[in-house]
């Protein structure tokens, strides 16, 4: 005896394709209140197949617990207002991701779309006795509905929703429907999905806001991400950089100031516009903490974290409280009982750092350090790894976005000269960053990396709560031969190492299956906040709406 079991897999996170469909339907003048998408899996089972739901949930290609909901349906047919779409004349499969499911004889996958009317919340396609029908003969797709007959439902689907476009991937079908109507105004919405060069911006909530940042550091990534999520984009550049930023089609506007440190002069003008500032490393370099706090422009992130990040002492307290391992610190040269690195305050990219072997070494070079502020930190011998995270205040979930290591001169080249040959050469290691290399972490160490990120976020909510640290951040580590992570530093915003991953990283791909840079992830968070009417959750609390 065989039976048909039906499972629906839907997103628990906001669904961008459904949102685009909704927008396009609105542009078509079709008053739809909600569009929902799901993957529907039908399994023809023989006998008693055991726990089929658990077997289905074990396939990552079907179900990712971080973003999906899996529910078995009582009926093997679409619900009222729902349409299932599948390739025409599709033969059932017997394997998923190359694997059989015990007890399952045949597998069919459909994409489900359902729409609700805006005001009434009734289905857009009216329900009637269930039956299968075919769409127009030239369509590549077959439609199944709860059943108000071929004409009404087919036209509903053809005009309003098609879950797959010609290019194959499931996407907003409203666009497809718009194209079949030949209405050029809507073609644009459709084309942004399929064009390799996206010069047109997606429509949506993003059109209301402009994502702005300083033209430097990771601005290209941030603005490309903003553009891809449908925002207008603004780069604030200087005379040297403005031509570069103007050369990118995804940057809608470039404002030129003489020096980046003049940024505060522009603030009153920016405050009048619907702008969201996405800060990066150069903001910290060019603007003081006070200036950061003074500007009353919506700001992605929590400025309260800046105090904890900027002070080496407070940062140390934060990381220790999170249970992270830190290199020992020595107050005076006399205390040094192992190799140390001398870190100058305010240095950037490791410039001017010094390696000292012992107290004697310190005394010999003390004159170089006179009148400088520095710390003496235990030198950890191991592999440096910079882990890029994103914490979403909307979902309460931490994501590992990517990882890199820095390529530093000359410390990374000392191994190229045999140590015997180095004797007497008087080479001092230096730590000047020249670039970044991508890395993936041994998977058995990934759980620890994830835990560190979670602990840092948890403690941040205690020390600068309630929002704490959110958005992009980076923990800079050195991993010793016994696979212990020692923490050098935390950066509470997007770091330049993420520029390696403008097209996404192996880790972001696992979560998104589409190119997802950290810059784009930031823009998506802002968009999701706008869609769920919770923009406050992703902006610094210091922002006050200017009087109307
Ligand atoms: P940025 O602000 O750009 O992150 P920075 O000037 O704060 O850089 P760090 O990232 O703290 O500098 O360190 C620069 C480099 O010095 C590191 O990439 C690493 O190679 C080396 N380094 C820092 N701390 C240690 C340590 N405790 N042990 C060994 N090497 C270290």
Atom in ligand 1 nearest the alpha carbon of residue 496: 3
Provide the 3-class DSSP secondary structure of residue 128. coil
- pTM of the full predicted structure? 0.66
> Which residues, 6+ apart, have CB-to-CB distance to 273 below 8 Å?
210
Evaluated on CA atoms 411, 414, 415, 416, the torsion sign reads: positive
Atom in ligand 1 nearest the alpha carbon of residue 348: 6
Q: Whole-angstrom Cα distance, residue 273 to residue 232? A: 12
Distance from the CA of 325 to the center of ligand 1, in angstroms? Answer: 15
Q: With a cut of 70, say whether residue 170 has pLDDT above it.
A: no
Tallying the residues shown for the chain, one arrives at: 548
Q: Whole-angstrom Cα distance, residue 160 to residue 172? A: 10
| Stretch among 6-15, 78-87, 133-142, 483-492 having the lowest mean pLDDT | 133-142
Q: Output 520 or 109, whichever has higher pLDDT.
A: 520
Going by pLDDT thresholds of 50, 70 and 90, the confidence category of residue 129 is very low
Structure tokens at 337: 């009982």
Contact of 223 with 522, CB cutoff 8 Å: no
Q: Whole-angstrom Cα distance, residue 362 to residue 328? A: 16
Atom in ligand 1 nearest the alpha carbon of residue 380: 28
| Stretch among 184-193, 228-237, 429-438 having the lowest mean pLDDT | 184-193
| Stretch among 100-104, 126-130, 134-138 having the lowest mean pLDDT | 126-130
Contact of 37 with 112, CB cutoff 8 Å: yes
Q: Whole-angstrom Cα distance, residue 518 to residue 505? A: 9
Q: What is the CATH number of domain 210-301?
A: 3.40.50.20
Distance from the CA of 392 to the center of ligand 1, in angstroms? Answer: 27
Q: Whole-angstrom Cα distance, residue 93 to residue 272? A: 57
Q: Where are the domains of the chain?
A: 2-193, 210-301
Q: Ligand 1: which of 403, 488, 492 to mutate, most ligand atoms within 8 Å of CB?
A: 488
Distance from the CA of 278 to the center of ligand 1, in angstroms? Answer: 25
Task: For ligand 1, atom 14, name the residue with the nearest CA.
Answer: 350
For the segment 445-458, what is each residue's pLDDT rounded down to a tens digit? 999 999 999 999 99
Task: For ligand 1, atom 2, name the residue with the nearest CA.
Answer: 348
Which residues line ligand 1 at a C-beta cut-off of 6 Å?
327, 341, 347-350, 353, 377-380, 384, 406, 408, 431, 476, 478, 488-489
Q: Ligand 1: which of 311, 339, 348, 353 to mutate, most ligand atoms within 8 Å of CB?
A: 353
Closest CA to 354 of 431, 284, 282, 280: 431
How many CB atoms within 10 Å of residue 129? 8
């Amino acid at each position: 005896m065989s039976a048909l079991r039906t499972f629906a897999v839907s997103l628990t996170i906001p669904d961008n394709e459904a949102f685009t469909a909704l927008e396009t339907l609105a542009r078509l003048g079709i008053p739809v209140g909600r569009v929902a998408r799901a993957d529907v899996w039908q399994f023809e089972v023989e006998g008693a197949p055991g726990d089929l739901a658990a077997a289905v949930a074990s396939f990552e290609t079907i179900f990712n617990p971080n973003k999906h909901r899996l529910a078995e349906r009582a009926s093997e047919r679409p619900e009222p207002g729902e349409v299932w779409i599948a390739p025409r004349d599709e033969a059932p499969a017997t394997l998923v991701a190359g694997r059989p499911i015990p007890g399952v004889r045949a597998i069919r996958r459909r994409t489900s779309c359902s729409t609700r009317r805006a005001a009434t919340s009734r289905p857009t396609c009216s329900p009637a006795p269930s039956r299968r029908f075919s769409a127009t003969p030239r369509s590549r797709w077959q439609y199944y509905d709860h059943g108000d007959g071929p004409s009404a439902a087919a036209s509903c689907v053809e005009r309003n929703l098609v879950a797959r476009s010609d290019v194959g991937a499931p996407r907003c079908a409203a666009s497809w429907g718009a194209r079949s109507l030949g209405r050029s105004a809507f073609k644009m919405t459709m084309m942004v999905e399929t064009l390799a060069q996206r010069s047109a911006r997606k429509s949506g909530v993003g059109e209301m806001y402009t994502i702005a940042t300083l033209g430097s550091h990771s601005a290209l990534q941030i603005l490309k991400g903003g553009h891809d999520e449908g925002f207008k984009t603004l780069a604030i550049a200087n005379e040297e950089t403005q031509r570069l930023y103007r050369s990118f089609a995804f940057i809608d506007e470039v404002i030129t100031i003489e020096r980046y440190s003049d940024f505060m002069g522009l603030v009153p003008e920016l405050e009048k516009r619907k702008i969201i500032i996405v800060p990066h490393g150069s903001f910290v370099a060019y603007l003081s903490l006070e200036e950061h706090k003074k500007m009353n422009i919506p700001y992605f992130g929590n400025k309260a974290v800046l105090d904890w990040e900027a002070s080496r002492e407070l940062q140390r307290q934060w990381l220790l409280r999170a249970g992270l391992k830190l290199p020992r610190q020595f107050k005076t040269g006399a205390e040094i009982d192992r190799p140390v690195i001398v870190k100058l305050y305010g240095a950037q990219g490791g410039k001017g750092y010094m390696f000292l072997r012992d107290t004697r070494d310190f005394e010999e070079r003390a004159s170089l350090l006179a009148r400088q502020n520095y710390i003496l930190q235990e030198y950890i011998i191991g592999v440096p790894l910079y882990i890029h995270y994103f914490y979403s205040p909307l979902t309460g979930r931490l994501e590992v976005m990517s990882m890199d290591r820095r390529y530093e001169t000359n410390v990374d080249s000392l191994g190229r000269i045999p140590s015997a040959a180095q004797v007497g050469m008087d080479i001092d290691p230096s730590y000047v960053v020249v670039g970044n290399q991508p890395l993936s972490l041994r998977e058995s160490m990934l759980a620890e990396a994830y835990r560190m990120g979670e602990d840092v976020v948890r403690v941040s909510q205690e020390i600068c709560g309630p929002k704490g640290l959110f958005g992009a951040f980076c923990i800079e580590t050195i991993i010793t031969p016994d696979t212990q992570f020692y923490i050098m530093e935390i950066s509470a915003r997007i770091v330049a190492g993420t520029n390696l991953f403008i097209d996404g990283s192996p880790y972001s791909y696992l979560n998104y299956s589409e190119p997802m840079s950290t810059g784009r992830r930031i823009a998506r968070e802002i968009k999701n906040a706008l869609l769920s009417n919770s923009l406050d959750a992703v902006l610094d609390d210091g922002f006050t709406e200017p009087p109307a």
